[in-house]
Structure 1
Amino acid sequence: MSEAIVEPALSLRAAEPGDAAACQRLSKAVSWPHRAEDCALAIRLGRGIVATLDGTIVATAMSWPYGDSHATLGMIIVDPGHQGAGIGKRLMQALFAEVAGRSLLLNATVAGRPLYEKTGFVPCGGVHQHQGVVPAVPAPALNQSERLRAGSPADLALLAGLDTAASGLPRDKVLAALLEYGESVVLEREGVAVGFSILRRFGRGFAIGPVIADDIASARLLTAHWLHSKQGEFVRIDLLAGAGLDGFLVEYGLACVGVVETMVRGDKPVPAGPSKIYAIINQALG
């Protein structure tokens, strides 16, 4: 009599800082660009769940709560060798339990959209991923009433106010980490801050985001500042669909290489304005 084959049991547990390398391995397996450092920051800022088989991490999913009403979901990855076995569905159920009572937002790839639709998500927008090696870009031209200055962690309350007005969400914790981890620039007009942007290392080079501004001209200034400073470097920026910066970025060497669909389960946040989001932090954090 032949022995029965015992399939290994799938286990779910909370993500830990030491899981960053495994998360990066999964990211690479699905052709995402995250470094281990990028995964570590995502774990630090949110609540992650990993699925293991025989002690090996084969899937991840993360959430980032913003206040009591909303959360974003991301880093939802199943190892290609284990896809189709229902692991993604189990992870989503675990995430829903983790963020119960909140409306949920995510950015869906073509491959992930069917799963999200089955769990109650509906389209509500999109994101255009632009990237490339930056050519020669002129310094932004300011008028007499405008000033670009370096930001710092001491600007957190100021920038969080602009960000909340643009996003409708309290994202202070994430912004605090980005201000420490990256560089920021603030646009002032007649002495009043009207926008800001943040640059940090990410993936193959650098990422710009968020870009928060009162109008598209301000958004271009805040973006051009970083492009001018990073000539010859690989830069990525994720624009909100309809933001109006696509042509501007293509002109300066950052082609659109992908489009994802923003989806919501529940209510979208309601921004108060007048500041707006032109580029998001990234596709996971929103």
Structure 2
Amino acid sequence: MPLSHPPLDQLPIRRLTSEDLLACADLSENRGWLREEHKWGLLLTAGAGYGIDDPSGKGLITACVVTSYGPGLAAIGMVLVAEQYARQGVGRRLMRHVLAESGDIPLSLYATSNGQPLYEQLGFTSVGHAEMLKGRFTPTDPAPDRTVRPATAEDLQHVLRLDLEVFGADRTHLITRLPAFADHLRVAEQDGEITGFGALWPNMDTHVIGPLIAHDPGTAQALVASLAAATDRPLRTDVDTRHSTLVSWLKANGLDRIAVNAVMIRSLPDLPGDWSRRFAPLTVAAG
């Protein structure tokens, strides 16, 4: 006789650790996503993962990660449900658990069109959109002339101050991991002052540009051009659609739209910080 398992609503939700990295990557692959083990490694060490084990012992049936930025904001990402458990309320149950664990802390996330209705039912509202772009960067439309150079250890405190000002919450625990996580970290400089920074990190067969913080679109373009020159892989990034100048420039230089995701938030009217200088997240999974 086949073994019986507890109902799905009785399976325990547990905290994930870095030891669950391969199980998380397997779950991504199960749903047709890339495995993204490098990104999962960052999220599971810098954030809090939650999941439900498959009662048959075959990995995870659902998972997500919450990246906290203190009492003012946390980001939810990588919400996944195994194909054989889809549309059975598992993802909703996991999200309700995360909401209960987070209490009064405002939450943000990037939602696909498929996921957006669930998040709206859970109290999230859309405050904008991000366009996912991917392609081989071909510099046919040059970037404006700006001073961009590799970041040094001496730049870190300046980068952290700028990031806090622009992002609107303290993400020191992520930014200080960038030198090890990213293949390249560049800063823009004007009159001895750092006016922007950007990272280039490996993700499967691409390099992702993020975070991308800059004083203006021209500085953002200069950072992208400098980072793009450091790789022969296709680029991927997620740009706030309000930055139409940067989006158009990226498309003119070989990148194409892959998707558009809704930026959603719960318990706040909008994201904190200065959107006009926040061009792209480190990853949409971390807000």
Could you tell me how far 1:18 is from its partner in structure 2? Answer: 1.2
Q: Name 2:165's counterpart in structure 1.
A: 165
Q: Name 1:186's counterpart in structure 2.
A: 187
Q: Which amino acid aligns with 2:193?
A: V
Q: Name 1:7's counterpart in structure 2.
A: 5
Secondary structure class of the residue paired with 2:226: helix
Report matched runs for 1:1-286 at 5 Å: 6-9=4-7, 10-54=11-55, 55=57, 56-135=59-138, 140=143, 142=145, 146-182=146-182, 183-230=184-231, 232-244=232-244, 245-267=246-268, 268-271=270-273, 273=274, 276-286=277-287
- 8 Å CA contact 1:129–1:256 kept in 2: the answer is yes
- 8 Å CA contact 2:144–2:219 kept in 1: the answer is no
Q: Which amino acid aligns with 2:238?
A: D
Name structure 2 gaps, 5 residues minimum: none
Could you tell me how far 1:140 is from its partner in structure 2? Answer: 4.8
Name structure 1 gaps, 5 residues minimum: none
Could you tell me how far 1:80 is from its partner in structure 2? Answer: 1.4
Distance 2:197 2:112 in 1: 28
Distance 1:140 1:6 in 2: 62
Q: Deviations over 1:68-103 (max 9, x none)?
A: 111000111001110111111111122112221200
Secondary structure class of the residue paired with 2:164: helix
Q: Identical aligned pairs, as a percentage?
A: 27
- 8 Å CA contact 1:156–1:172 kept in 2: the answer is no
Alpha-carbon distance change, 136 to 17 in structure 1, aligned in 2, over 3 angstroms: same
Could you tell me how far 1:135 is from its partner in structure 2? Answer: 3.2
Distance 1:241 1:140 in 2: 19
Distance 1:11 1:214 in 2: 46
Distance 1:21 1:5 in 2: 26
- 8 Å CA contact 2:200–2:210 kept in 1: the answer is yes
Could you tell me how far 1:155 is from its partner in structure 2? Answer: 2.5
- 8 Å CA contact 1:121–1:265 kept in 2: the answer is yes
- 8 Å CA contact 1:137–1:224 kept in 2: the answer is no
- 8 Å CA contact 1:212–1:219 kept in 2: the answer is yes
Alpha-carbon distance change, 15 to 184 in structure 1, aligned in 2, over 3 angstroms: same
Secondary structure class of the residue paired with 1:123: strand
Could you tell me how far 1:194 is from its partner in structure 2? Answer: 0.7
- Runs (4+) of structure 1 moved beyond 4 Å? 136-141
Q: Which amino acid aligns with 1:74?
A: G
Alpha-carbon distance change, 154 to 98 in structure 1, aligned in 2, over 3 angstroms: farther
Q: Deviations over 1:12-62 (max 9, x none)?
A: 111011111111111122232242222111101100101112233111011
Distance 2:39 2:154 in 1: 23
> What TM-score do the two structures reach when normalised by structure 1?
0.91
Alpha-carbon distance change, 57 to 154 in structure 1, aligned in 2, over 3 angstroms: farther
Could you tell me how far 1:149 is from its partner in structure 2? Answer: 1.7
- 8 Å CA contact 1:136–1:228 kept in 2: the answer is no
* Count of matched residue pairs: 279
- 8 Å CA contact 1:194–1:275 kept in 2: the answer is no
Which stretch shifts more, 275-284 or 183-192?
Answer: 275-284
> What TM-score do the two structures reach when normalised by structure 2?
0.90
Distance 2:178 2:27 in 1: 24
Q: Which amino acid aligns with 1:239?
A: V
Distance 1:109 1:38 in 2: 19
